[in-house]
Amino acid sequence: MDTKRLETIGNKKLTRRDALKLAGVGGLGLLVGAGGMGALMQPKPSAANLAGSAESNSADGIVPFYGKHQAGIITPMQDFICMGAFDLTATSLDDVRKLFQSWTEASARLTAGKSVGDESGHSLLPPVDTGESMGLGAMRMTITFGLGPSFFDERFGLASKRPAPLVDLPHFNSDDIRKEWTGGDVVVQVCANDPQVAFHALRNLARIGRGKAVLRWVQDGFQRTSAADPKGSTPRNLLGFKDGTANPNVSDEKTADEIVWAQSSDDPAWMAGGSYMVMRRIRMRIEVWDRSTLADQESTFGRHRESGAPLGKTDEFDDLELDRKDSKGKPVIPATSHVALAHMDGKVKILRRGYSYSSGMDLKTGQLDAGLLFVCFNRDPRKQFIPMQQKLAAADQLNEYISHVGSGIFACLPGASEGGYIGDTLF
């Protein structure tokens, strides 16, 4: 456990014991953050997100759609993601409003394990729901909506409403961004403990959007399933290393408010309770990585591969203690290792919520097109994601093995109350 990290959370000194109390019923597992929780031992998310109906902790349960915040942000991670970005073809704000009203209604049903709408009963009409999730459960599905910078162009008269934190992402060193994996007026993140359930939701939302929105890109992702890891250990990325160990403990409301949620004191007010998502499609150079030595790999991450412990330590949750030196006076954890750079002196944190992806072969290179669908949430990307990524892009040893090929930044709207709709604070 990284006591030093916890001490800085919420600008309040926390002892290790406080940290454990704070974790509550979830036990130590909770401290792992969203990335480290298996669905079978998932804690209840922040009470603020639980308005509406009762939360189920089982792998096939229901995560309430309505609440102060959108679900799928501080919600403990599900096993699968199906993420899509849409370009709007609607030409009026009124049509956009109707689209979000329809999407809200459909999402509330889908996340409750229902079909997207009641069937008409007329066999001479297309079915209301495409049917492939019939008989399957809710599978802890969450559906999360965000608006990209392009949403705030001249089309809908909302240019003046564009949130200042929703900047265009700068070019980072070592970026190799492809248009086909980038941007979008609207992002829809669907996460669930079943890939067919998640695909079904995105597909039906696309169908509802016909005439108003077209899909721009779609990316599926996975973690190990809950069944493969019932203890809910920190998942491993496709480089074989545990990923998510240092995620902040957002089950603590104060931490979540500081790191994740836009506040009413922030500008704009209509984003209060929302959050900013950054998506990066990070291709891993699997074949190159697989030829590097274990020492190189561990030096690159700054952690031991098997245990996930910081270099020179034995437990995954041991403190990093970046100032440790070896007998020759060199840092035990190299300053250009991923973990040392991402630590940002403990002052800058983001909530990571990424998934591995495997998309067959890259026909151009004849290598695997696999890697990380990096997703993170932060209260202000100008102060969190961007400076962190600038530091990583400049010096991270990991850059030798990865390539950012897709990118997106989205203002994830506040949650909606029953009767309201996602976006109602803006539209």
- Binding-residue pattern over the window 227 to 266 for a copy of itself, x denoting contact by CB under 8 A: xxx---x-xxxxxxx-------------------------
Binding of a copy of itself by 158 (CB under 8 A):
no
Query: How near is the Cβ of 366 to a copy of itself at its closest, in Å?
Result: 7
Positions 303 through 322 that interact with a copy of itself (CB under 8 A): 305-306
Query: How near is the Cβ of 259 to a copy of itself at its closest, in Å?
Result: 28
Binding of a copy of itself by 370 (CB under 8 A):
yes
Query: How near is the Cβ of 343 to a copy of itself at its closest, in Å?
Result: 23
How many residues form the binding site for a copy of itself (CB under 8 A)?
Answer: 73
Q: In angstroms, rounded to a whole number, what is the distance separating the alpha carbons of residues 254 and 100?
A: 30
Binding of a copy of itself by 408 (CB under 8 A):
no
Q: Measured from the CB atom, is 190 or 409 closer to a copy of itself?
A: 190
Binding of a copy of itself by 136 (CB under 8 A):
yes
Positions 6 through 35 that interact with a copy of itself (CB under 8 A): none
Positions 89 through 128 that interact with a copy of itself (CB under 8 A): 122-127
Positions 203 through 222 that interact with a copy of itself (CB under 8 A): 203, 206-207, 214-220, 222
Query: How near is the Cβ of 110 to a copy of itself at its closest, in Å?
Result: 14
Three-state SS letters, the chain: CCHHHHHHHHHCCCCHHHHHHHHHHHHHHHHHCHHHCCHHHCCCCCHHHCCCCCCCCCCCCCCCCCCCCCCCCCCCCCCEEEEEEEEECCCCHHHHHHHHHHHHHHHHHHHCCCCCCCCCCCCCCCCCCCCCCCCCCCCCCEEEEEECHHHHCHHHCCHHHCCCCCCCCCCCCCECCCHHHECCCEEEEEEECCHHHHHHHHHHHHHHCCCCEEEEEEEEEECCCHHHCCCCCCCECCCCCECCCCCCCCCCHHHHHHHCCCCCCCCCHHHCCCEEEEEEEEEECHHHHCCCCHHHHHHHHCECCCCCCECCCCCCCCCCCCCCECCCCCECCCCCCHHHHHHHHHCCCCEECCEEEEEEEECCCCEEEEEEEEEEEECCCCCCHHHHHHHHHHHCHHHHCEEEEEEEEEEECCCCCCCCCCCCCCC
Q: Which of 146, 144, 138, 147 is nearest to 71 (CA)?
A: 144
Q: Which one of residues 293, 325, 327, 329 is an interface residue with a copy of itself (CB under 8 A)? A: 293
Positions 67 through 96 that interact with a copy of itself (CB under 8 A): 79, 82
Q: Which one of residues 153, 168, 176, 180 is an interface residue with a copy of itself (CB under 8 A)? A: 180
Query: How near is the Cβ of 256 to a copy of itself at its closest, in Å?
Result: 28
Binding of a copy of itself by 326 (CB under 8 A):
no
Query: How near is the Cβ of 56 to a copy of itself at its closest, in Å?
Result: 13
Q: Which one of residues 94, 168, 290, 315 is an interface residue with a copy of itself (CB under 8 A)? A: 290
Q: Measured from the CB atom, is 162 or 305 closer to a copy of itself?
A: 305
Q: Measured from the CB atom, is 8 or 233 closer to a copy of itself?
A: 233
Query: What is the CB-side half-sphere exposure of residue 122 using CA atoms within 13 A?
Result: 5
Q: Which one of residues 24, 131, 211, 312 is an interface residue with a copy of itself (CB under 8 A)? A: 131
Binding of a copy of itself by 168 (CB under 8 A):
no
Query: How near is the Cβ of 39 to a copy of itself at its closest, in Å?
Result: 9
Binding of a copy of itself by 139 (CB under 8 A):
yes
Q: In angstroms, rounded to a whole number, what is the distance separating the alpha carbons of residues 251 and 69?
A: 13
Q: Measured from the CB atom, is 55 or 252 closer to a copy of itself?
A: 55
Binding of a copy of itself by 167 (CB under 8 A):
no
Binding of a copy of itself by 294 (CB under 8 A):
yes
Quick one: which segment of 8-16, 160-168, 199-207, 384-392 binds a copy of itself (CB under 8 A)? 199-207
Kindly tell me the sign of the dihedral angle through the C-alpha atoms of 271, 261, 50, 114.
positive
